Amino acid sequence: MSSKKNKSKSVVYQEFGNTSNSEALERSVPDLPPQQQNIRVQASRSGRKGKTVTVITGFQQSPDSLNKLLKQLKSHCGSGGTMKDNTLEIQGDNRQKLVKFLGDLGYKVKISGG
């Protein structure tokens, strides 16, 4: 006789409900209105082999809305860029353009660094 064993996973102890739903476990970031966000714009060359990059920090938005904003900023400056840890990086020294553009969108923007 062949015996078939039940190969389903049995949970012995589970404290906080269903763990397969990873979206529920992610911390959501509320999208604050632009007037309530303090944005810093600075030019940086450290760790980039001498290439100047404009770094924009201080956003309190979801990654989806940051990607949309990044696309607008890149097309406004005519250069490339990326998003790393809620920080936007635009290639080149575009501080003045970005401060004016973000200010027109309603953000409170300051240039930081030298």
pLDDT digits (tens, 9 = 90+) for 70-86: 999 999 999 999 999 88
Question: CB burial class (10 A; 0-12, 13-18, 19+) of residue 98?
Answer: buried
Instruction: Report the Cα 11 to chain-centroid distance in Å.
Output: 36
Q: Are strands 87-91 and 81-84 parallel, antiparallel or unpaired?
A: antiparallel
The residue ranges of the chain whose pLDDT is under 70 are 1-9, 11, 14, 16-29, 114
Cβ atoms of 45 and 52 closer than 8 Å? yes
Rounded to two decimals, the pTM is 0.72
Find, among 55, 11, 61, the residue nearest to 37 by Cα. Answer: 61
What distance in Å separates the CA atoms of residue 36 and residue 94, rounded to the nearest whole number? 23
SS3 101: helix
